[in-house]
Structure 1
Amino acid sequence: MSRMLRASAIMAAGTMVSRVTGFVRTMVLAYAIGTKALGDSYNAAYAIPYSILDLLLLGVLSSVVVPMIVRAQQHDADGGRAYEQRLLTISAVALIVVAVLAVFGAPLLIDLYTDWAPGSPKFEVAVTLARFILPQLAFFGVGAVAGAILNTRDRYGAPMWAPVVNNLVVICVFLAYAMVGGERDNIEQISTGDMALLGLGTTAGIVAQAAILIVALKRVGFAFVPRFDVRNARLGEMARAGVWTIGYVIVTQLGFMLTTNLASAAGDAVEGHGISPYTLAFQLFQLPYGVIGVSVITAMLPRMSRAVGEGRFHDVRSEFGSSVRLICSLMVPVSLLLMVLGPAITVPIYGHGANSVADAVYIGNVLQVYGLALVPFALFQLLLRVFYSFGDTRTPVFVGAATTAANAALMLVFNALLPARYLVMGLALAYAIAYALGAVGAWLLASRRVRGLGGWTIGMALTRMYLAALPTAVVALAAVWVVTGVFAGLGFVNSLIVLAVGGGLGLLLYLGVAHRMRIPEVNSIVGMVAGRVGR
């Protein structure tokens, strides 16, 4: 537990700074271009490379590449150095080809991911922006492979801190865009030069991020030598393992395309209620998982892969249980706070410039619904890593397909039942229900694989965490009622008061109650923080 806490703390610190600068990035984005027509076009173009990378490249990294690198380090005479060089070479070449094809296919991609008619202002601006943004596929991908190699060496700092540089670059770009003057949020007035600044500036951030990771690789003694001897790259083994991951990608991409098509249609019906609020709320929803969950999972997967390779199933169960309890000890109160404080969180971030307070409140309403999904989503991701540690990429495809199918069915139901102004909230609710069902199914299958996951112990731990978090939710709800009742609404200052009282005091109350209830994971976190403060 202590080793996991130390590794996770290093990554969480870097990720926290990354996410804080990400907050600033999204604030500047909303200030500069808003969440209406231009904001929708930018977010549609921006989402496409990230969806491809998150679901394809990063999925392959976690399910195939990381276990294969670990095996090469364990069994190859050179400790896996040549294999890593081949992997980086092949990845760079392949991703450059993918990026070029994506740029040429930008109109088709925008047509697939949105409900906009070709020739409309939203469509044409999104295509142009995509052509400037899609080259980042190559740079992001190479950086991700470099990060995977660093993780297998238990070097977690650079992969978690490099996104900070990316955010800082993009913040400067959007500030420059906002300072140019004129109606910069008006899609009818935007020029090719404006779109080049937005698109190429976004890509420049990824270039800087990849450069940081390559430098970090050199500092740990990795000497990159291009290797094109693909016969020794174990591509056949990778393809056999990765074919199911590609199947998972196809399934999830179909679900994502349905989401963006429905959201883009809702945005056409009610301005400011489309892709942008969905995207911005989703980014905030991912913040706790990114800070807490990704850090723990990144440290967990190589150790689980080694334990599986050595037949130590007890250690697999122990690693999984510790990870679930550690993540949920913080996810549980945060999920309740999101459900209560959504608008108070989004108004200070998004209620400026081209974005009105009403637009920001709607983003907060979507975030409140997403709060329901936080714990099920984190559990789902942890459970997938159990299969990946076995080198099993087939089972996650079926689990993901079932989850995506449930999500798609629920989205279509809500699309038929809800008015356009509430549809994006319905999409978030469909996501939450689908991942809760997916987590249940994945648990049953993973438990059978490792002969039990300690469900009773984990269930009792989660119950105690929710009981400890209930006073936090009550304090946050009281803060919302009092402040909105006294000051008649949520403005910038009022939202900060609600966050300070409901969020700040609420979390302190949770830590105190959980400490008194002797929840071990919270006690470990409190002890670690107290020890560092005392130095």
Structure 2
Amino acid sequence: MSRVLRASAVMAAGTMVSRVTGFVRTAVLAAAIGTLALGDAYNVAYTIPLILFDFLIGGVLSSVVVPMIVRRQRSDPDGGRAYEQRLMTLGVIVLTLVAIAGVLLAGPLISLYSADWNPRKTEVAVKLAQFILPQIAFFGVGAIAGAILNTRDRFAAPMWAPVLNNIVMIAVALTYYLSLGTAGTNIGTVSDANLALLGLGTTAGIVAQCAVLVVSLHRAGFRFVPRLDLREAGLGEMGRTAVWTFAYVGISQLGFLITTKLASGAGERAPGAGNSAYAYAYQFFQLPYGIIAVSVITAMLPRMSRAVADEQFGVVREEFSSGVRLVSALLVPAGLLLMVLGPAVTVLIFSWGNMTIDAAVYIGNVLQVFGLALVPFSLFQLLLRVFYSFGDTRTPVFVAVGNVAVNGLLSLLAYMILPAQYIVMGLGFSFTVTYVLGTAVAWTLASRRVGGLGGRVVAAGLSRMYVAALPAALLALAVLWGSQELTGLNALSAAVMLAAGGGLGMVLYLVIAHRMRIPEVSSVVEMVASRVRR
């Protein structure tokens, strides 16, 4: 527990700064381009390279590459150095070719992820995508560098590097807004030069992020020497394992495609209640997951992979169990507070520039729905790492098929039966139900693999955490109602709600949980107290 906590704390600090600057980035960008036609066009164009990266290499890194690097570091006479160089060489070649192909195919890609858009909106999205898609190469190289750093237990740089990306994008969005003002949201009059500023500025941020990771890897002792003897890179073994990862990511992206098209269609029927609202709410939903769960997941996977290689399955169970308890101790209150304070968060962040209070509140309503999914979604991601540590990329594919089927069916029902302004909230609820069911299935399968995951102990621990978190949620709700009655909902009152409701609510949770002797919360409290005493 203490090892995971210490490693996670280092990563969480960087992730916290990254996410906070990401908040500012999102707020400034939304203030500059809004959530109407231009905002939807940008968000779809921005998402496509992330989808392609995730499909081609993102999932493979966590499920295949990290465990394989760990094994090569243990078995190869040179400690896996040549293997790492071949891997980097392969990544540079493949990702550069994919980036070029993406730019050439920007039009069909935009058409695939949009619905019922007029020609001008499609044209703008295509131009933005052509400027943004080259970032795939830099994003991928940086991710490979980060994976190699993680196998060497160097976790700080991958968590801090996105901060520079966010700073670059904040500067770009501010420049755009100060140059155009309210005209910056008008998709009919925005010029190619303005689109180049947005698109190339977005790519410049990823270039800076990649540079930080490459330099950090060099300082860790890695020396990149291009190696074209790729037959020695274990591509056959990697391919046999990765084929299931590609299938998993492809199936998951099919679900994302359905969601994006439905959200895009909803935005055409109810302007401002479309893909941008969904994307911004999802990004804020990812904040507590990114700070807490990702840090633990990143620290867990190399350790579980080493334990599996040594056939120490008891260590796998211990690592997973401690990770689940540690993650849940902070995500349980975070999820409840998001359900209560979602509109306060988004009004404080989004009610500036070309955004309106109503648009910000709508994003907050979607965020409230996502709050329900925070714990099951995070537990699902932890469970996947159990399979990946065994080199099992096949089982998650079958779980993903069920997830996509459930999510697709529920999302289509929401699109057909809900009023247009509620469709995106319905999509968020479909996401929640999907991960509740998916987590139950994945838990059952993973438990069989390692001989039990302590389900009863975890369930009892979660129950105690929810009991401790309920007073915090009620306090936040009381602050929310009281503030709205006195001043209404605006940026100032939202700040008060978050400080009083969210801040005091979390303190109340920590106090109650500590008194209830929930060990994971006590560990966090003691670690923070020791740092303060220093």
1:35 to partner: Cα distance: 0.6
AA in 1 matched with 2:277: P
2:189 aligned residue = 189
- The alpha-carbon deviation at position 51 of structure 1 amounts to 2.2
Distance 1:49 1:90 in 2: 19
8 Å CA contact retained: 1:55, 1:252? no
Whether 1:84 and 2:80 are equivalent positions in the alignment is no
- 1:515 matched to 2:514? The reply is yes
> CA separation in 2, counterparts of 1:51 and 1:278?
16
Report deviation, 1:420: 0.7
TM-score (norm 2): 0.99
Deviation at 1:55, TM superposition (A): 4.5
Q: Which residue of 2 aligns with 1:360?
A: 360
Q: Does 1:251 align with 2:231?
A: no
Who is 1:480 aligned against? 480
Instruction: Tell me whether 1:23 sits opposite 2:14 in the alignment.
Output: no
1:528 aligns with 2:527: yes
Q: 1:210: which partner in 2?
A: 210
Deviation track 1:69-103 (CA, whole Å, cap 9, x = no partner) reads: 00000000000000000000000100000111111
- 1:16-45 deviations in whole A, cap 9, x for unaligned? 000000000001001101111110000010
Aligned position for 2:240: 240
Determine the C-alpha separation between the residues in 2 that align with 1:121 and 1:421: 24
Superposition map of 1:444-455 within 5 A: 444-455=444-455
Q: What is the correspondence of 1:319-398 to structure 2 with a 5 Å cutoff? A: 319-398=319-398
Q: What SS is found at the alignment partner of 1:184?
A: helix
Q: Is the 8 Å Cα contact of residues 255 and 407 (structure 1) preserved in structure 2?
A: yes
Specify the alignment match of 1:414 in structure 2.
Answer: 414
Alpha-carbon distance in 1 for matches of 2:19, 2:499: 19
> How far does residue 253 in structure 1 lie from its aligned partner after superposition?
1.3
**Deviation by residue 1:106-140 (Cα, 9 ceiling, x = unmatched):** 111111111034x6221110000000000000000
CA–CA distance in structure 1, aligned partners of residues 180 and 460 of structure 2: 57
Contact 1:114/1:257 (8 A) holds in 2: no
Q: Is the 8 A contact 2:379 2:439 kept in 1?
A: yes
| Separation of aligned partners in 1, 2:152 and 2:116 | 46
1:84-483 alignment runs, 5 A limit: 84-117=84-117, 120-182=119-181, 183-483=183-483
**Could you say which residue in structure 2 is the equivalent of 1:490?**
489
Per-residue CA shift, 1:293-338, capped at 9, x if unaligned?
1000000000000111111111111110000000000000000000
Q: Helix, strand or coil for the counterpart of 1:164?
A: helix
Amino acid at match of 2:516: M
Instruction: Note the alpha carbon deviations across 1:215-261, whole angstroms, 9 max, x for none.
Output: 00110111110001011000000000000011112111111111111
Q: Equivalent residue of 2:185, what SS?
A: coil
Give the letter aligned to residue 129 of structure 1: L
Counterpart Cα distance in 2 of 1:485 and 1:447: 49
SS of 1:79 mapped into structure 2: coil
Preserved CA contact (<8 Å) 1:63 1:391: yes
Corresponding residue for 1:503?
502
Q: How many residues align?
A: 533
Superposed structure 1 runs of 4+ greater than 4 Å apart: none
Query: What amino acid maps onto 2:170 in structure 1?
Result: I
Contact 2:64 2:242 in 1 (8 A): yes
Verify the 8 A CA contact 2:54 2:249 in the aligned structure 1: no
Aligned-partner Cα distance in 1 for 2:211–2:112: 32
Of 47-56 and 331-340, deviating more is: 47-56
Q: Which amino acid aligns with 2:141?
A: V
8 Å contact kept, 1:116–1:122: no
CA change 1:294–1:56 in 2 (3 A) is: farther
The letter for the 2-side match of 1:445 is L
User: C-alpha distance in 2, partners of 1:339/1:52?
Assistant: 31
More off after superposition, 176-185 vs 262-271:
176-185
> How far apart, in 2, do the equivalents of 1:55 and 1:529 lie?
39
Structure 1 distance, partners of 2:229, 2:116, is 45
Counterpart residue identity of residue 290, structure 1 = G
Structure 1 residue identity aligned to 2:177 = A
- The Cα of 1:163 is off from its aligned counterpart by 0.2
Q: Amino acid of the residue matched to residue 43 of structure 2?
A: N
- The range that moved more, 193-202 or 56-65, is 56-65
Where does residue 69 of structure 2 map in the other structure?
69
Q: Tell me the distance in 2 between the aligned counterparts of 1:350 and 1:184.
A: 16
- Distance in 2 between residues matched to 1:250 and 1:19, nearest whole Å: 27
Report the AA paired with residue 448 of structure 2: R
Kept in 2: contact 1:56–1:245 (CA 8 A): no
Aligned to 1:59: 59
Distance apart, 1:53 and its partner CA? 2.3
Instruction: Give the percent of matched residue pairs that are identical in Structure 1 and Structure 2.
Output: 63
